[in-house]
Amino acid sequence: MYRKCVSAALAAAMLVSFPALAQDAPTSESQWTGSGELGLTSATGNARTQNINALLAVGLDEGRWHHDASAFWLRSRGEVDTSTRTGSTSAMEDTANRYGVAFSSAFDLSERSYLIGSLRYDHDNFASYLWRGVAAASYGYRWRDDARMRLVTEIGPGFRRSHDTSTGAVENEGIARGLVDFSWQLSDNTRLLDTFLVESGRLNTFVQNDLGLQVSMTERLALKAGYQVRYNSDVDPGFKKTDTVTMLNLVYSVK
């Protein structure tokens, strides 16, 4: 099932690797970075709800090469009333269950520009697409990237493979991928972050925006309030085009 998606992923990675073969990258000490986020909520009484979201991100810088990997999980459970002939009952049921992984490798062409190959997979039990895999090769440019502000854009072609929840059909299509990564240090301990991703093809246009405000408590611990919007232009009957998630997470970072 995944052979075509894997082949496309390898092709995207090769496209990024070819420029590196033509020139020697400067050697430097490898530098690892990492962060983890976790948010938990639980309510009891007149209504019962349980929610959890988690994110793990790891980065490795090796001279002109930059590698990033991440994984996320979102799950919500709520009390649902069910009517029967003998009355009504209530039980805890899943209302959201989404998880995914992503990986990218970038090679610097200059101080500001780079080529990047990216892979992304997500699975959602409550969406029009049960799962989706994307491979893309893009050109990136750092408009500004310092301690106070970061503005980076990426654009390029890709391939998407999706599983339609209602019909069970697997759809393949070429896409155009664009990304804007922005952050701004508002004060010594407060940072605004926003990541905008669009993947547009003939069958569907997917848009995701992650907005966050992070307040550092110590060198490694921070609190982060986040708001995520996900949009699909083409969905099956009974599904909404837009999903939103509001989060308050504890963040642990290693640099």
Please give the chain's pLDDT, 255 residues, in tens: 434 443 444 344 434 444 443 344 444 578 999 999 999 877 777 667 889 999 999 999 999 999 999 999 999 988 776 666 666 666 778 888 999 999 999 999 999 999 999 999 999 999 999 999 999 999 999 999 999 999 999 999 999 999 999 889 999 999 999 999 999 999 999 999 999 999 999 999 999 999 999 999 999 999 999 999 999 999 988 889 999 999 999 999 997
Count of the separate structural domains present in the chain? 1
Contact 120, 104 (CB under 8 A): no
Contact 90, 133 (CB under 8 A): no
Distance CA 13, CA 234 (A): 29
Contact 155, 149 (CB under 8 A): no
Contact 224, 216 (CB under 8 A): no
Distance CA 197, CA 222 (A): 25
Domain of residue 101, CATH code:
2.40.160.40
Distance CA 161, CA 200 (A): 13
Distance CA 21, CA 168 (A): 42
- pTM score, two decimals? 0.83
Residue 9 backbone phi and psi in degrees, to 5: -65, -45
| Full residue range of the structural domain in which residue 241 is found | 3-21+30-254
